[in-house]
Structure 1
Amino acid sequence: MNDFYPEITPYQHFMLDVGDNHQLYVEQCGNPRGQAVVFIHGGPGAGCSEKDRRFFDPEKYRIILFDQRGCGRSLPHGSLEENTTSALVADIERIRRHLDIERWHVFGGSWGSTLSLVYAQHHPQRVKSLVLRGIFLARQQDTNWTFSGGGATRIYPDHWQNYLDAFPEGESQSDIHGAYKLMTGPDKALAEKIARAWATWEMSCCTLVPDENFLKEATTDERCWSLARHEAHYMVNNCFLEENQILNNCHKIRDIPTIIVHGRFDIVCPLDNAWLLHRELPKSQLIISEQSGHASVETNTKHHLIAATQQMLTLD
């Protein structure tokens, strides 16, 4: 069973000014002469972690990680200004050009899979391969599933009730627009309370088997603030995409080698997201991670993701 590569530290990290009053934290790890791979984190708003470096063989990969606008170590923290999908796609291209990389592998999970796909559809000539996990297609039905009384709330009604209890007026305020209004409103204490409840609800659904350590790491104060507000910001704006945009544009990336890894029991992003994507990409591989939910660190999913990054090394 594949496990994480050993812990590594960056050989370079810096802040990249991308305009619009945003500076992105960017780091490089592994082998400076290795095959370039960019890691695109989830959320929106989650930021990268030290574990994210460890899906890749550090002797063979030049590993690039960055925190998207307003989250992680990027500045200003929590900023939603000029924070759109098209801006994030442009940021990825700025990073590639800044690092003088001609083509690179792209690895993304959850919202990171969404952004990876949109980036690849805009810049297919720059993408050597895609490794995608926990597919989120960013359709209205996908946001409704988790945050508007959809299927997830029926599977985890206890966690959903904990979320509803955070609202002063209960369920009447809990739709995405209502939550977003409170999280961006003048009452900072209430905004922080709703953000923590939002993040805790989502993270509680991420693993098939309850994992207190995972939940604790995923719900620090800073992480809750950026994750919840960013996600709500994107959801109320339909992720700044046309409905079904990703599936409708799969013809643009049909020749890019793609491995899709998705948990059989993913409650945050149900498996049919990956199934539909796989059908639109006939050259893709769909690997269903049995006994797994949504999180990348679950044993079977981690094994399949590392195997995928090993496979992608054979493309050169």
Structure 2
Amino acid sequence: MSLSATRHRTVEVQGQQIFYREAGDPTRPTLVLLHGFPTSSHMFRDLIPALADEYHLIAPDHVGFGQSSAPPVDGFDYSFDRLTTVTEALLDTLGLDRFALYLHDYGAPIGLRIATRHPDRVTGLVVQSGNAYLDGFTPFWDALFAHAKDRTTHEPAVRRLLTVEATRWQYTHGVPTDLLDRIAPETWLLDQAGLDRPGNAEIQLQLFWDYQFNLDVYPDFQRYFREHQPPTLVTWGRHDEIFGAAGAEAYARDLPEAEIHLLDTGHFALETHGAEIADLIRAFLRRAG
């Protein structure tokens, strides 16, 4: 079988079954792709084969998402610290010593924790709608931050983020009308099927609540940027109403050499600009080494 073909695999990590997609020659430079909410490694289904001729790609599903284990909330610590620990252990299990990181949404606080702990292992960062600064938080977050302070009162509001209407909105908001036909409906329907599994709503509510603690480590992320100056490519939807464009531009504050591209789309930029992003990543990784 060609190494460029995507393989779908599962490995046990810290007692959890972690599903991941892999393609490319493992002797070539590795790019680890970390997805966000409410999706899975499925979001990288087109990007992986687009880069597999030249790079080794690994895209795991986080615990509670996609095809990975999803134990109930009383059987697993659903926190971003814990998801980071599992991801670190996966990379060690797969023998990945050096890699670039693709950070999307939830993948950003997970991947940047890894980078701050192991700066010598990270060859570069590709960021798509993944905040490391307070800049760019939009009104979308008002209910989530209120929920962080008072879970009981604000839980009904954040539960609405788990509906199919909200999931579809994440894919379509900010996308120009003439590009909407690029978005396959199975994207949000597959994500929704994951959200609708018994017990998954409670998992997502716990992660919504825990997100507040990511902001506490933003200074650590920014210190890592200043001290280590990792090569960084930012490809971000200009019209993203979850993580606004100011979140993309903020990276230049500590990474003056960062390459920042604001694309004419929304939160899931790969759905409308996948070929363009693949070309940007290929050129970036060649320069980053």
What 5-or-longer segments of structure 2 have no aligned partner?
A: 145-150
Deviations 1:60-108, CA, capped at 9 Å, x for gaps = 2111111001110011367573111111211221122111122111112
**Aligned-partner Cα distance in 2 for 1:273–1:124:** 22
**Is residue 93 from structure 1 mapped to residue 93 from structure 2 by the alignment?**
no
**Is residue 214 from structure 1 mapped to residue 184 from structure 2 by the alignment?**
yes
Deviations 1:14-36, CA, capped at 9 Å, x for gaps = 222323xx321123211132211
Distance change in 2, residues 1:115/1:39 (3 Å): same
Distance change in 2, residues 1:230/1:199 (3 Å): farther
**Is residue 102 from structure 1 mapped to residue 97 from structure 2 by the alignment?**
yes
* 1:123 CA drift (Å): 1.9
**Aligned-partner Cα distance in 1 for 2:84–2:195:** 23
The code of the aligned residue for 1:9 comes to T
Corresponding residue of 2:223: 251
Corresponding residue of 1:304: 277
**Aligned-partner Cα distance in 2 for 1:174–1:229:** 13
* 1:197 CA drift (Å): 4.1
**Aligned-partner Cα distance in 1 for 2:112–2:235:** 14
**Aligned-partner Cα distance in 1 for 2:36–2:244:** 16
Quick one: which of 165, 171, 186 aligns to 1:203?
A: 171
Q: List aligned pairs for 1:125-144, cutoff 5 A.
A: 125-137=120-132, 142=137
* 1:118 CA drift (Å): 2.7
Quick one: which of 8, 12, 18 aligns to 2:14?
A: 18
C-alpha RMSD over aligned residues: 3.4
**Aligned-partner Cα distance in 2 for 1:298–1:17:** 30
* 1:264 CA drift (Å): 1.8
The answer to whether the Cα contact below 8 Å between 1:69 and 1:79 also exists between their aligned partners in 2 is no
With normalisation by structure 1, the TM-score equals: 0.72
**Aligned-partner Cα distance in 1 for 2:73–2:55:** 32
**Is residue 293 from structure 1 mapped to residue 289 from structure 2 by the alignment?**
no
Q: List aligned pairs for 1:1-316, cutoff 5 A.
A: 8-10=5-7, 13-19=9-15, 22-43=16-37, 45-49=38-42, 51-54=45-48, 56-76=50-70, 81-137=76-132, 142=137, 145-148=139-142, 176-179=154-157, 195-205=163-173, 207-209=175-177, 210-211=180-181, 213-220=183-190, 221-225=192-196, 230-243=203-216, 245-247=217-219, 249-254=221-226, 255-289=229-263, 291-300=264-273, 302-316=275-289
Corresponding residue of 1:158: none
Distance change in 2, residues 1:234/1:30 (3 Å): same
Deviations 1:235-283, CA, capped at 9 Å, x for gaps = 222343244x325531213321111111222222110011112212223
**Aligned-partner Cα distance in 1 for 2:66–2:54:** 26
Percent identity, please.
Answer: 17
The answer to whether the Cα contact below 8 Å between 1:204 and 1:215 also exists between their aligned partners in 2 is no
The answer to whether the Cα contact below 8 Å between 1:56 and 1:63 also exists between their aligned partners in 2 is no
State the SS of the aligned residue for 1:214: coil
